[in-house]
A and B are shown apart, each in its own frame.
Chain A
Amino acid sequence: SQQGEEDPQALSIQEGENATMNCSYKTSINNLQWYRQNSGRGLVHLILIRSNEREKHSGRLRVTLDTSKKSSSLLITASRAADTASYFCATDGNTDKLIFGTGTRLQVFP
Chain B
Amino acid sequence: NAGVTQTPKFQVLKTGQSMTLQCAQDMNHNSMYWYRQDPGMGLRLIYYSASEGTTDKGEVPNGYNVSRLNKREFSLRLESAAPSQTSVYFCASSSQGQLYGYTFGSGTRLTVV
Chain A residues with CB under 8 Å of chain B are: 1-2, 30-31, 33, 35, 40-45, 48, 88, 92, 95-103
Contact = CB atoms under 8 A, between A and B. Distances in A.
What 8 pairs across the A-B complex have the smallest Cβ distances? Answer: A45-B101, A92-B98, A42-B104, A102-B42, A100-B43, A96-B97, A43-B104, A42-B106
Interface residues of B, number: 27
Contacts, number: 61
B48 to A, nearest CB: 5
Interface of B: 4, 31, 33, 35, 40-45, 48, 50, 58-59, 90, 92, 97-107
B16 to A, nearest CB: 28
- Tell me the dominant secondary structure on chain A's binding face: loop
Contacts of A101: 42
Contact of B90 (A42, A45, A48): A42
Contacts of B41: 102
